[in-house]
Amino acid sequence: MAPSDRADSARKHQLLELAYAHVLDHGLADMSLRPLAEAVGSSPRVLLFLFGSKDALVQALLARAREEETGMLDAVRPARAGAGHGLAEAGRLVWGWLADPAHRKLLTLWVEGYSRSLAGGGGPWAGFAERTIADWLAVFAAAQPPAHRDTPEALAERTLLLAVLRGALLDLLATGDEPRAGAAVAAHLRTLESVHREAPAP
């Protein structure tokens, strides 16, 4: 890589991090290049040169948000492949991260990207919701016992857990009522634990 390419790459990374901090505070819905460029100490021309287009910049910002989310999910994965530390425990760890006030801005941005993706069509939002669902389901699958995880029942269990967590997250972001949303999640996790305690050993 030539020195000029390395400089461009370093500047691109720096501007991406500054832009990411900006959209965490202001969202992506009404983002325009001129105010964003002013906020990060650059210019629209430089942003377009480094990222190619506004859509490509939005895609890079969504990928940055997803990178933070998948970092959390990786931390929840069992330490050993196939260890299966329990779906309820995985749900408890994920909810602890989701409910942390320090992650509120990121999760609000995630919901914005998710809802834009559901509107359909192409553009930078395309496939964002589907990819995040796949990320979460993969983590929950890894937390299930190997002999169980490929069954239709196991798929239904992790899909239901994802639905409960996603619904509780939307409630929490809308109301800020963590005790109520957390109690609902805890109730589902207790049900999940009781089902597996009562299940016969394979």
- Per residue in 141-153, pLDDT tens? 988 989 989 999 9
How far apart CA 165 and CA 185 sit, in angstroms, is 7
- 58 vs 45, 48, 133, CA distance in Å? 16, 12, 20
Query: First vs last Cα of the chain: how many Å apart?
Result: 55
Residues in the chain: 202
Q: Rounded to an integer, what distance in angstroms lies between the CA atom of residue 62 and that of residue 27? A: 11
Q: Is the pLDDT of residue 4 over 90?
A: no
Beta strands in 96-177, from DSSP E residues, in sequence order: none
Residue 93 corresponds to which tokens in the numbers above? Answer: 């760890």
Q: What is the dihedral of CA 134, 135, 137, 139, to 10 degrees?
A: 150
Express each pLDDT in 93-136 by its tens digit.
999 999 999 999 999 998 988 888 888 767 888 888 998 899 89
Q: What percent of the chain has pLDDT over 70?
A: 87
Structure confidence at residue 187 (pLDDT): 97
Geometric angle at alpha carbon 135, from 65 and 53, rounded to 5°:
40
pTM of the predicted model as reported, rounded to 2 decimal places: 0.81
C-alpha–C-alpha distance, residues 87 and 192, integer Å: 8
The SS3 of residue 11 is helix
How confident is the model at residue 81, as a pLDDT?
41
The residue that leads in pLDDT, 159 or 29, is 159
The residue among 163, 173, 47 whose CA lies nearest residue 109 is: 173
Q: What is the mean pLDDT of residues 61-86?
A: 70
